[in-house]
Chain A
Amino acid sequence: MKQYRYLDLIGKTDERFIKEVLDIHDSERRSITMSKKRIVAVAVAAALVLALGVSAVAAYLRGLNTVEKYISDREESIRLPESFATVAAQDIGTEIEPEDDEAFNPGDARATGVIVSRDSFYATVEINASDAGLDDYDYPDYFDGKFQSGKFGMTADVDGEEVLFGYTGNTPMVSCEDGIMTLVMHFSAYLPEGVDAINVEIGEFGYTSYDNPPDKEHVAVSDKVYSFSIPVDESDMVVPVNSVNEAECDGVKFTAAVDSLGLHFYPQLEISEENNETVREIFDTNKIGIKMKDGTEMKGLFYDTSVPHVLAGGFMGAGETYFSFETLVDVEEIESISLGDAVFKFE
C-alpha cells in the first residue's frame, strides 16, 4: 500500500469544500461572529457564576416550592419504607480517553469522566495548575485549601458549531496535589439536541475573602484561565429514574430522593414552626451524616470533601419551607445515613 495513502486520498475533497475553507481566510465576518458568541457566553456565564453553588441550586429548587410539588414533578409516588430503598448501582459514566498522546503539561486541562443525561451532567476534571503559582501566596488562616474559580463559562458544540445553553450548578474542588487540581462539575443543564461536546473555560482560581464583613469577595490568586472540552455522546445519555422515600425523625419529615445515576442523594426536610428548632439544631450541629462501607464517615455535608470518594455540596433550598442539601456520593458504598439520632441503613 502506498505510504500516506489516506492523506493523499483526502485530496479527493470536493472543490466547494476547499473553497469554503479558503474563504474563511478572506472573511473577517466569521471571526467577529465567533467573538460575539464568546462575549455573550461569558456574560451569561458571569451572571451564573455569581449564583454558583449555594444560591444557584437553591434557586433551582425554589421553583419546586413544596415537597409535594417536587414529588409530583418527578411523577413518583411517595413510599414509606422503614429504611431507604436499594439503589442498584449502574455501570454508568464514561471514562474519557485522552485525545492525544501529549503529556499533561502546565496549563492543560482535561475531563477524565462524564455522566450525562438530557438535563444534567457530571464530569471529573483535572487541571495542571502548576503554572498558576498557587503555592506562592500568603493565604488567610480561614482558607481551607479548596480553591474556587472566579471565571467560568460553558458552551455546547453541536456538530462543531458553538451554541449557548442554560445551566446551573457548581464545580467543587476535590484536591490539589503537586499543582494538579481535581474538580467535579455537576450541573443541571438542558443540553441542546445534537450536542457532541461541552466547552468549558474555568480559572482565576482563588478563595472567598471575609476580610471586609459583611461583604464577601473572590480573591483571585492566579489569573490563569484553562480551557477544555467534555465530549458528549448522546447514545450514552442516561435516563434518570428516581426513587423517593419519606421518613420522620424527631418530628421532622424527611424525604430523600435518590437518583439512579447513582450519585445523587438529596434529603429534604420540611421545616415548620413546630420543628424549626429541631431542624436548625440538626443543621447547625451537623447532625446529618453519611457512613460509608469502608468505615469513613462524613458529618455535616456542607462542602465537606474530606472523604475522598464523597463529594459534597450544600445549599439552603427555598429557605421558607424546607432546606435540603445535595451530595454526590457513590450510592453503592453508603452503609447508613443518620439524621440526628436516627440511623437509616442503606441496603
Chain B
Amino acid sequence: MATIAMPGRVEAAAPARPAEPTGVWSWITTVDHKRIGTLYLFTALFFFVVGGTEALVIRLQLMKPNMGIVSADMYNQLFTMHGTTMVFLVIMPLSAAFFNYLIPLQIGARDVAFPRLNAFSYWVYALGGVFITAPIFLSLAPNGGWFGYAPLTTTAYSPTLNIDFWVIGLQILGISSLAAAFNFITTIINMRAPGMHLMRMPIFTWMSFVVQFLVILAFPVITVALVFLLFDRFFGTNFYTIAAGADPLLWQHLFWIFGHPEVYILILPAFGLVSEVLPTYSRKPLFGYPVMVYSGILIGFLGFGVWAHHMFSVGMGPIADSIFSLTTMLIAIPTGVKILNWISTMWGGQIRFTTAMLFGIALVALFTMGGISGIMHSSAAADLQQTDSYFVVAHFHYVLFGGAIFGIFAGVYHYFPKMTGRFLDETLGKWHFWVFFVAMNLTFFPMHFSGLLGMPRRIYTYDAGQGWELFNMMASLGAFLQGAGMLIFFYNMWRSYRQPATAPADPWGAPTLEWTIPSPPPDYNFAKLPQVTSRYPLWDEKGREAMIQHRAGDRIPSAEELHIPMPKSTAKPFVVALFMTCMLASLIFLHVEGMATVGILATIAFALAMVGTLYSWLLSPLE
C-alpha cells in the first residue's frame, strides 16, 4: 500500500504507454502475472525443442532396422526424457503460460490472488526442469519410462543415479504445479469482476478451473508414490520390494490414479483455448455453453474413476476389468459432447480461416481420431492386443500432439497480438500449420499399422522382415518435417519481434474482457473495474461501447496516475525456489558413495536457508 504516489501531473509530452522495466533482474524479480506467463511460454518452448530433439534422435534410431545411432541404454534415457519432458516441462507449462496470462485478464482482475506465490511456482518449474534435464549430458538421465514402474525402478533393478534424478525432479515439479493450482483456484473463485457469475466466465477460465482441481487431487498421490520410491531407494524401506511381500501393482495403481487425471490436466486447457478460438473466427457464440461447462466438470470428475484401464494386461480379474471398461466408455460421452458442440459452433458461422482457426479445427479432427482409438482401448479384450504396442503410441500422440499441442498453437496464434502487441505473419503461420498437419499425420498415422503388426513400444531397434520398415521410415520422415514446421514458427516469431507493435486492443473481433484493454496490456490490466453483464460483452449491441477501455491512439496512463497500487518486485520467491530446489537436489548425494554426510548437511543447510527466506518473504508486504 505504500507505493501510492501523488496524483501525477499528465505531461503534454507524456509517452503513449508507461515504460516497461527491462533487464534480466526485472525478470527475476517480477511478480506480474503477464511477465510470468511470458516466462512460462518461452521456457516451455525451450523444453519443447529439447524434448523434440530427443524425439528426433529416437526417430533416427528407428528409421531403419538395426540402426546404431545410440546405445540401448541411451535410448532408454531418450524415450524416458522425451515423455517426461513433453508432459511435465512442455504441455503443462505451456498451459500454465496461458493460465497466467489469460485468467486474470478474462475475469477482469489486476493480477492473480498471490502474485509472489505465482513467481515462486515459475521458478520452481524452471529450476526443476534444469535439474531433471541436465543429467542426460552425463548419460545419467532417468531411464525407467515416464511412468517409472516400480519395482523396475527400485535399487535392485536400477542401481544408478538415473532414477534418483527422476524421483527428485518430479517432486520438485509437483510442488510448482500444486502451488500454482491453489493460486488459480483462489483467483478464479474470488477475483471475478462484478457481474461475472460462474456461468458468464469465459470457457478457457472454466476449463482451467477444472484443471486446477485435478492438479490438487492428483499430484498428492504421485507425491506419495514417489516418496515411497525415494524411501525404498535411499533408506531401504520395502514398499516395492517383492521379496518382502510387497505388491507389484501398488506403484501402478498409485501412479495411474495420478496419471489418468494428468491426461485431462494436459488436454482440458487446450480444449478451453479452442473453445475461445472457434467462436471468434466463426462469429458465433459457443454452441451449448452450459453443456460445455458441465461436460468439462464431468470429464474431470470421471477422470478419477478410470485409472486402471492403463492396467488391463496385469490381470486384475474380470470384475475390475469390466468396471474400468465401462467407466472409460462413459467418459467418452462428455468428450464426444464437446466435439459435437465445436462442430455446431462452426455450423452456419462466418468462418475466417486464420492460422489460429486452422489449428483449432485440426484439433477437433485429430482429437476425434485419437479419441476413437481410445475407445478401442476401453474394451479390455481389445486392449490386450494393443497394449504396449505402437498402436498405443499412435493413440496418445493423436490426443496429446493433435489435441493438446495443436490447441496450444491455436492459442499462441490467437493471443500473440494480445501478449506482444505484434502479429505473427499469417502466410508463414499457414505454412507452419500445413507442414505440421501433414507431418503429424505422416509421423503418427503409420504407427497404428506398425502397432497392429506387433511392433512393441520402447524397443531401441528391430530386425528387418516384420513388415515394419515402411511405417517406421514414414514416421521418421514425418518427425523431421515437424522439426521443419517448428523452424518456420520460430522464424515467424523472430520476424514479428523485429516489426513495430501495431496490434489494436481487439484485432480479431473477439468477445471477452481481455480484448477490451490495450495490446499488450499495461501492468495493472484494467484502468477501471469492468462491470460484466453478459457472457460475450464485446458482442452485445447494447453496452458494448461502455466495455471498451482502449481505442487506437489512446494514451495509456501509468498505474500511479490511476492510483492503482501495484505489487512490489521482489527476488524472494526466486530465492526461496532456489533454496528449495537445492535442498531437494542435495538428496542425490545420499546415493553417492561416501557423500551421504555431505548430502544430509547440504539438505539441512538449504532447508534452513529456505525457511529463513520464506519468513522474510511472508513478513514483507505485497504492495
Q: Do A and B come from one complex?
A: no
Which residues from chain B sit less than 8 Å from chain A, CB to CB? Answer: none
